[in-house]
Chain A
Amino acid sequence: MNEVIEEKISAEYKYGFVTDIDADNAPKGLNEDIIRFISAKKNEPEWMLVYRLEAFRHWLTMEEPDWAHVSYQKPDFQEIIYYSAPKPKKVLKSLDEVDPELLKTFQKLGISILEQERLSGVESRVAIDVIVDSVSVKTTFKETLAEKGIIFCSFGEAIQEHPELVQKYMSSVVPSSDNFFAALNSAVFTDGSFCYIPKGVRCPMELSTYFRIEAAGTGQFERTLIIAEEGSQVSYLEGCTAPMRDENQLHAAVVELVAHKNAQIKYSTVQNWYPGDKEGKGGVFNFVTKRGICLEENAKISWTQVETGSAITWKYPSVILKGDNSIGEFYSVAVTNNYQQADTGTKMIHIGKNTKSTIISKGISAGFSNNSYRGLVRIAKGAENARNFSQCDSLLMGDQCGAHTFPYIEIKNNTAVVEHEATTSKIGEDQLFYCKQRGIDNEKAIGLIVNGYCKDVLSQLPMEFAVEAQKLLEVSLEGSVG
């Protein structure tokens, strides 16, 4: 069995490659001039520049947080290139005009845009807002969506074309002064996705963005804003892989979700950025602020994430349950291997009456990694009959790794019912024995058990993602079980 482990542990990162696209880089470092440069490059209105500068000035007064259960060499923010964009090209009408290099990249990732096109007309198709580095190159299915009145475009485009929506909702959920990385993002973000679902519209397809980090030394600062008007529904997918790099790359994204009355937003993430090599060298720093707000009654926000990549993960998708009867959900699988460190979880802030939240978190640690769940459930004074159920399980594989749980539960209303439970254990010998006795070999048995362990979460993923997620789990884990 040990050979199998060795072999799997030493499996190289499959998705590590570099695409050669010329980038129009800003000089290294961060100051007000750089922010002006980014703003000018993106041809932004003045209010955006003011917003950025305010965020930057606030950021200067803040300190990098160190309360998370991770340790790493703090990034030097003056060593980062804050803007790099592929050279502007003519507007593309069909895939033939897309950079062949880029198409190759997607083929390597197993995401075929060609196939997506071929399938157009089929209901379960996926619209992809492709992001390479920091600028959207190609937006597909835009016209189909436009018919329904859905706006799905890059953030830069939204600033140009729908400034009133951006001004109304940007930073309404995550204020630019919220935390260190959110402030940094607000100051220097270059692009991202913007999505607006009008009243009563059910988005006919899964919306999806593939983020990729390109060009050495470029940090990515994405910003996503999704607004679901009254009675609308949307499911959004986000998936990431990154090329192999030696130096650490910083990623500090902000995602904001706004759900109005009776609206539903489902946000799914599969994250597989470069986790660093076997010695823990390199890898992506993933410091993300994700937050949704159920603004009015009966709204629902659901986060699902499968986290397998990144050297350091620092991520707490949260829901503010402001409207009465609103629902928040969080389903997470976090896998760490080798020297990866993850500190992830959620915050459920109950403000409205009869609000409900569910937290299911499954952590798996292997190798020398550390995996922490950190979550907050807060029941405010007025949140009558609020209900929360949390379950955080950890699975340990190997005797060098760690699994930790840090739940915070703050209750200020006596009609609330809050339950929290957590367990930590290794794969049951009896379960393994049971499988082996029936002729299932050790490795397959472990795969079976792990997949069963994560089933509660994986079943929440949309079909398009479920397969990819399962594959990811297998790649990042299967062999490392001891």
Chain B
Amino acid sequence: METVIKTRTIKDKLIFEFENSKLFLFGSTQLRDNAMESFYKQGIPTRKHEEYKYTRVDLMLKGEFDFSTNKNCSDAQIQPLKFLKDAYVVVIENGVFVEGSSNVENLPKGLTVCSLVDAEKSNSPVFEKHYAQYADVKTDPFIALNTAMTKDGAFIHIAKNVIIEKPIHIIHISTTSVNTIIHPRNLIVIDENAQAKIIESFETISATAKTVSNALTEIVVDKNAIVDHYKIQDEKELGYLVNTTQVIQQRQSVFSTHTFTLSGSLVRNNLTVVLDDEHIESHLNGLYLTVGNQVVDNHTVVDHRKPNCNSNELYKGIIEGKSTATFNGKIFVRKDAQKTNAFQSNKNILLSLAGTINTKPQLEIYADDVKCSHGSTTGKLDEAKIFYLRARGIGLVNAKKLLMHAFASEVVNTIKIEALREYVEEKISKTFE
């Protein structure tokens, strides 16, 4: 008898895994089924998919994957990753909250930090109100996949009028020894008049196999709240990261986000900020330093829905080796959003002959009384500046480093936490070596 052997695609495998592990997954059955159905419809995006034109996520998902996630790194290994000495630390290893390694005791009043699983168990009304309300499964297959298959993540809630001075640091670590796909998910809710600083870092330790993280963070910024959000992506060669961040802002809130992509084989950031009321301020900053065969793709959407809001976006990149950097920024101004000021700037330095930069700064504007602009420049290091420095006795290598530092500093200087700024500066210096 002839047997037909059909190679299963990664899509089939994911669906099979979803059916198999239903018991261990997180969230309501209806939500997950709905999300999976949406993923099934959208499939894994290929090159023909306009939004994924420059980033081959389909290639990233080629090969065999194991779906079990084990904890296998010790506390001592995690310690150096806690680079902020004075912070509340949440450790998420391979997509699962690790209470032992985390540092969430003695929390001040009004601050809740726990795992998503615990938040659900405790029937937290905040969790119920906000979970999976903002990242729409229909808009992106990775959002759908995360919503369907996430197992755990961090839940952070800051109550009304509470100001948290110490930064909250979420550390995502991948430590697997077999190729795996994980779906960590965070929900961060900042109530009215509250203030917080949140850092998410993505690291790889002792991993010997490819890890694809499909991480998703939803951030709710309520009225008058002030939130500072940082992302440090440093996943090394084995790390593949698709990182979706969905932010919703309410009246008179201020939200700043800073994305630093330092390493990782493939990093794709989908950042969406929705300005859902009046007098909101949003700042989006990003810096990407790419080397080797790295692929970094930053997709940002600023959605102005109501009048009288300001948004400011600055993304800078230095591209070396055969790496590819993509910036796709969209400013969306809806019909009602009069008196909007929206600015966007993307600047790139291409150091090598083999590097590639793709940028697509877009404006989609339906209101007339607005001021919107975008600018994009790409070039090499300025010969005149190098000459100036060399004429003053600074060697070629150092002159270049100095100029790159100066270029990056515009973004680095937006970091308001000193310890973090020093850490990032040190990392950048190492990349330039």
Query: What are 15 contact pairs spanning A and B, CB under 8 A?
Result: A67-B50, A396-B370, A399-B335, A403-B363, A406-B360, A407-B362, A410-B358, A411-B348, A413-B353, A414-B351, A418-B379, A419-B376, A423-B373, A424-B363, A425-B372
Interface positions, chain B 345-378, Cβ under 8 Å from A, are: 348, 350-378
CB of A106 closer than 8 Å to a CB of B: no
A402 touches B366 (CB 8 A): yes
With most chain B CB atoms within 10 A of its CB, the pick from A394, A426, A482 is: A426
Which residues does chain B contribute within 8 Å of A482, judged by CB atoms? 368
Which residues does chain A contribute within 8 Å of B71, judged by CB atoms? none
CB of A415 closer than 8 Å to a CB of B: yes
Give Cα distance in the complex from A67 to B50, angstroms. Answer: 9
Which residues does chain A contribute within 8 Å of B350, judged by CB atoms? 411, 413-414, 416
Which residues does chain A contribute within 8 Å of B376, judged by CB atoms? 407, 409, 418-421
Which residues does chain B contribute within 8 Å of A400, judged by CB atoms? 335
Contact of A399 among B357, B361, B367 (CB under 8 A): B367
With most chain B CB atoms within 10 A of its CB, the pick from A381, A399, A409, A421 is: A409
Given A409-B357, A414-B355, answer yes or no on A422-B373 (Cβ-Cβ < 8 Å).
Answer: yes
Known: A409-B359, A418-B377. 16 other contacts (CB 8 A): A398-B368, A401-B368, A402-B366, A407-B360, A407-B362, A411-B350, A411-B358, A413-B353, A414-B353, A417-B377, A420-B359, A420-B377, A421-B375, A421-B376, A424-B363, A424-B370
Closest 7 CB pairs of A and B: A396-B368, A414-B350, A420-B376, A423-B373, A405-B363, A424-B372, A417-B379
B335 to chain A: closest residue by CB:
A399
CB of B270 closer than 8 Å to a CB of A: no
Give Cα distance in the complex from A394 to B333, angstroms. Answer: 14
CB of A404 closer than 8 Å to a CB of B: yes
Give Cα distance in the complex from A369 to B426, angstroms. Answer: 51
Contact of A408 among B338, B358, B368, B378 (CB under 8 A): B358
Give Cα distance in the complex from A40 to B359, angstroms. Answer: 49
Give Cα distance in the complex from A418 to B357, angstroms. Answer: 11
Which residues does chain A contribute within 8 Å of B370, judged by CB atoms? 396, 424-426
B378 touches A402 (CB 8 A): no
Which residues does chain B contribute within 8 Å of A414, judged by CB atoms? 350-353, 355, 380
Which residues does chain A contribute within 8 Å of B353, judged by CB atoms? 381, 413-414
Interface positions, chain B 67-111, Cβ under 8 Å from A, are: none
A404 touches B364 (CB 8 A): yes
What's the least CB distance linking A477 to chain B, in Å? 14
Which residues does chain A contribute within 8 Å of B377, judged by CB atoms? 417-420
A411 touches B378 (CB 8 A): yes
A412 touches B361 (CB 8 A): no
Which residues does chain A contribute within 8 Å of B356, judged by CB atoms? 410-412
What's the least CB distance linking B419 to chain A, in Å? 35
Give Cα distance in the complex from A419 to B378, angstroms. Answer: 7
B357 to chain A: closest residue by CB:
A411
State which size class the interface on A falls in.
35 or more
Q: Which residues of A contact B (CB under 8 A)?
A: 67, 381, 394, 396-426, 482
A398 to chain B: closest residue by CB:
B368
Give Cα distance in the complex from A420 to B348, angstroms. Answer: 12
B362 touches A406 (CB 8 A): yes
What's the least CB distance linking A458 to chain B, in Å? 23
Which residues does chain A contribute within 8 Å of B375, judged by CB atoms? 419-422
Which residues does chain A contribute within 8 Å of B363, judged by CB atoms? 394, 403-405, 422, 424
What's the least CB distance linking B314 to chain A, in Å? 15
Give Cα distance in the complex from A421 to B344, angstroms. Answer: 10
Which residues does chain A contribute within 8 Å of B374, judged by CB atoms? 405, 420-422
What's the least CB distance linking B306 to chain A, in Å? 14
Which residues does chain B contribute within 8 Å of A425, judged by CB atoms? 370-372
Given A407-B360, A408-B358, answer yes or no on A417-B378 (Cβ-Cβ < 8 Å).
Answer: yes
B368 touches A399 (CB 8 A): yes
What's the least CB distance linking B47 to chain A, in Å? 14
Give Cα distance in the complex from A482 to B50, angstroms. Answer: 35
A409 touches B360 (CB 8 A): yes
B342 to chain A: closest residue by CB:
A424
Which residues does chain B contribute within 8 Å of A409, judged by CB atoms? 357-360, 376, 378
Which residues does chain B contribute within 8 Å of A403, judged by CB atoms? 363, 365
Give Cα distance in the complex from A411 to B349, angstroms. Answer: 11
Given A414-B351, A421-B373, A425-B372, answer yes or no on A396-B365 (Cβ-Cβ < 8 Å).
Answer: yes
